[in-house]
Amino acid sequence: MTKTKKATFAGGCFWCMVKPFDQWDGVHRVISGYTGGHIEKPSYEEVKLGNSGHYEAVEITYDSEKITYETIVDLYWKQIDPTDDGGQFQDRGDQYRTAIFYHDDEQKRVAEASKLELAGSGKFSKPVVTEILPVKVFYPAEDYHQDFYKKSKKDYEADRAKSGRDEFIDTVWK
């Protein structure tokens, strides 16, 4: 019997947040969507305008006996700039902020400990501003956003290349 759990993260454009998790053994599914806002069932257009309060986010369903939440949180940090409170890379606005949305007290504990460790690591000269928040309703994004890196490979690669994300990851995390 598998122990299926969920993890939810905001890390800027959700297109760039699916592939890094999707390829790990134990990860069953990564869904692009919206969370944290005040509009019920928001559309991409509503979220993109920045008025809905939602974050672009991913919801990860995983087998906790094959991959730990600690591992997933570590992977998350290595996809983002945790010191940027205005968005991520080329994507600016509140909808592109970073956040870890915990599903239970254990996830909260792990996320907070991980953030403290990162903040004290000396890796960044600015404060780590990624918020750790209780999970709210997660609304899956429209179908054309799901698995975008697979469905629209050239568009995904072009968007990712111009974003500056990979340069940051290569400089800071590798």
Q: Is 13 a catalytic residue?
A: yes
**Active-site entry in 7, 9, 12, 13:** 13
Angle at 96 between CA 93 and CA 99, to 5 degrees: 125
How far is residue 147's CA from residue 111's CA, in Å, rounded to a whole number? Answer: 26
Q: Would you say residue 131 has pLDDT above 80? A: yes
- What is the pLDDT at residue 174? 80
The mean per-residue pLDDT over the stretch 54-72 comes to 97
How far is residue 170's CA from residue 174's CA, in Å, rounded to a whole number? Answer: 5
Q: Would you say residue 169 has pLDDT above 90? A: yes
Hey, what are 159's tokens? 């968007």
- What is the pLDDT at residue 43? 95
Which of 35, 32, 26 has the alpha carbon at shortest distance from 5? 26
Q: Would you say residue 1 has pLDDT above 60? A: no
DSSP state for residue 51 in the 8-state scheme: -
Q: Would you say residue 84 has pLDDT above 90? A: yes
Which residues, 6 or more positions from 161, have their beta carbon under 8 angstroms from its beta carbon?
Answer: none
The answer to whether 32 and 165 have CB atoms below 8 angstroms apart is no
- What is the pLDDT at residue 8? 98
Which of 164, 160, 138 has the alpha carbon at shortest distance from 149? 160
For residue 32, name the pLDDT band (cuts at 50, 70, 90): very high
The mean per-residue pLDDT over the stretch 134-141 comes to 97
- What is the pLDDT at residue 103? 98
Stated as kind and residue range, the H or E segment containing 33 is: strand 27-35
More reliable by pLDDT, 144 or 174? 144
With 0-12 / 13-18 / 19 or more C-beta atoms within 10 angstroms meaning exposed / middle / buried, residue 97 is buried
With 0-12 / 13-18 / 19 or more C-beta atoms within 10 angstroms meaning exposed / middle / buried, residue 21 is buried
- What is the pLDDT at residue 2? 63
Q: Would you say residue 82 has pLDDT above 70? A: yes
The pTM score is 0.95
For residue 36, name the pLDDT band (cuts at 50, 70, 90): very high
Q: Would you say residue 140 has pLDDT above 70? A: yes
Arithmetic mean of pLDDT over the chain: 95
Domain 4-172 adopts which CATH fold? Peptide Methionine Sulfoxide Reductase; Chain A (3.30.1060)
